[in-house]
Structure 1
């Protein structure tokens, strides 16, 4: 890093070294992990990096990795160690022929690091909002201030249908729990500030959670979502965001029809049907 703007290009990404940060630009292409494509580029301040390693990779490659400080990056905090190695956004894989050059940049980067230990705040920018994704039992959306869960009648449990669609202002949340969709029982759960120990239900019956399934809630959609919510929770959602649009009347009609089907099937009571129908009509 003798000059600002030096670039080290590897497989799927290129690192541009600047005086106070590393700008990581991820490639687009069918072989590039979808998470990288979704991230596009990320600027990592040097004070968000705890260390740098250079190790042998597979099939004649070397791997340059920056070690993020705990608490510095909302994406890595939300991931909580669940990302597969190939989807680690802090890894740069290079041809073994570039090992000497990679060692040079690793040494230069190490010489500029001054911070260690946990960070007291997020130093890496969170993914930009608005964000949304489809889970197995509902659709999640986030506008920067409030998380909305809209249940799918084909996937949501009767518990969630009875509770109705949910809205969670970030000021009322204490955290986010993300369990990778690549493992059994993957889900995204919001943790209310007033939640006590032992009060958490299974994710498929918890109105504060959406569950993942095959093709639902993929990593490249649900993890940036979780990271953005977590960052907003930590900052108490003070950023200004556009107001959420009103519900489409056709969508309301469809929801009422689905509610009627559940009522006829005996999954909701007369009182629950009337209350939920009135709630939906009030959104018009």
Structure 2
């Protein structure tokens, strides 16, 4: 197990997943605090890096494209204090950060986790129900419907239509943009059959954001909805996949005869086979000498 505890948060890696817990420091963003603890399975990771600075460093996770609904909804636009996949590391813990990064890299190498995109979300969206008030309105989501309500700052033409209720089955897309410079941000829902032509200020299916403290929390609503929409890599019209641990319906009828099970490979033999594979990868030039040494050490620890 590899663990690093900082004021910014705590990361724990057990070989199968990284557990990310936000800290209580004043510099921890509101979104990270509201999101709470995240468990990132190893198969969702494309890589990890550690960058040293004069006063502090950064541990950063790189997730496989399409693995996280929050990243899908925000499109890489989360600023550093709100990014749950980044950890500020104090200078006296650089060695620990390097160790955590090495352990994750070794596990990715040993398990041969591909770095390419995925066709289903590997992390859940934020818990529902949730409700956030920011900008010119309040967005609430109960897992089935989005409700948009307006406040006294909403444009009259937009508020005149009253509160909006959008069934998730009618939503085809959702996006969150933070305000930047003189440009306001928004949380916008694309509804089937309704073209998006107007700015968020007048769009009844959008909340306009002005750059205040609670704006990033609207990204949680976007992520929760995104997690319940078809994955971008799925075929058009394909239904949202149930979680892998959900019970699956089975058609009635006689059960087919099971094929004889292959004998399970002994754990020790599997590790020896993996060592041989690593040696072949080194000979073929796929692994450098340093990568081979690190991977071999990780295998030997398991024996």
- Shared fold, TM over 0.5: yes
What TM-score comes out, normalization by structure 1 length?
0.74
SS of the equivalent of 2:160 reads: helix
Distance 2:3 2:121 in 1: 25
Aligned to 1:117: 116
Quick one: structure 1 residues 52 and 214, their matched pair in 2 at CA, closer, same or farther if it must change by over 3 Å? closer
Aligned to 1:67: 62
What TM-score comes out, normalization by structure 2 length?
0.70
Distance 2:184 2:27 in 1: 27
Quick one: structure 1 residues 109 and 193, their matched pair in 2 at CA, closer, same or farther if it must change by over 3 Å? same
Alignment deviations for residues 7-58 of structure 1 (CA, whole Å, 9 cap, x no partner): 211231111112321000111243322222112210111111101111113x
Aligned to 1:202: 199
Distance 1:49 1:200 in 2: 37
Distance 2:31 2:163 in 1: 28
Distance 1:181 1:227 in 2: 18
Q: Is the 8 A contact 2:68 2:124 kept in 1?
A: yes
1:98 to 93, 98, 105: 93
Q: CA deviation at 1:115?
A: 2.3
Structure 1 alignment gaps of length 5 or more = 240-284
Q: Is the 8 A contact 1:170 1:237 kept in 2?
A: no
1:27 to 23, 27, 38: 23
Distance 1:237 1:47 in 2: 20
After superposition, where does 1:167-246 map in structure 2 within 5 Å? 167-181=165-179, 183=181, 184-196=183-195, 199-213=196-210, 215=212, 217-219=214-216, 221-234=217-230
SS of the equivalent of 1:203 reads: coil
Quick one: structure 1 residues 182 and 36, their matched pair in 2 at CA, closer, same or farther if it must change by over 3 Å? farther
1:79 to 68, 74, 77: 74
SS of the equivalent of 1:205 reads: coil
CA RMSD of aligned residues (A): 2.2
Q: Is the 8 A contact 2:27 2:81 kept in 1?
A: no
SS of the equivalent of 1:111 reads: helix
Distance 1:124 1:100 in 2: 29
Query: Is the radius of gyration larger for structure 1 or structure 2?
Result: 2
Distance 1:91 1:148 in 2: 31
Q: CA deviation at 1:87?
A: 2.8
SS of the equivalent of 1:119 reads: coil
Q: Is the 8 A contact 1:140 1:150 kept in 2?
A: yes
Number of equivalenced pairs: 230
Q: CA deviation at 1:72?
A: 0.7
Q: CA deviation at 1:127?
A: 0.7
Do structure 1's residue 10 and structure 2's residue 6 form an aligned pair? yes
Distance 2:106 2:170 in 1: 42
2:35 to 16, 19, 39: 39
Alignment deviations for residues 94-128 of structure 1 (CA, whole Å, 9 cap, x no partner): 22232223222211101222121112111112110
Quick one: structure 1 residues 149 and 238, their matched pair in 2 at CA, closer, same or farther if it must change by over 3 Å? farther
Structure 2 alignment gaps of length 5 or more = 232-238, 243-303
Q: CA deviation at 1:161?
A: 2.9
Q: Is the 8 A contact 1:74 1:231 kept in 2?
A: yes
Aligned to 1:132: 131
Distance 1:85 1:25 in 2: 15
Q: CA deviation at 1:216?
A: 7.0
SS of the equivalent of 1:150 reads: strand
Q: Is the 8 A contact 1:181 1:217 kept in 2?
A: no
Distance 2:213 2:98 in 1: 40
Distance 2:85 2:29 in 1: 13
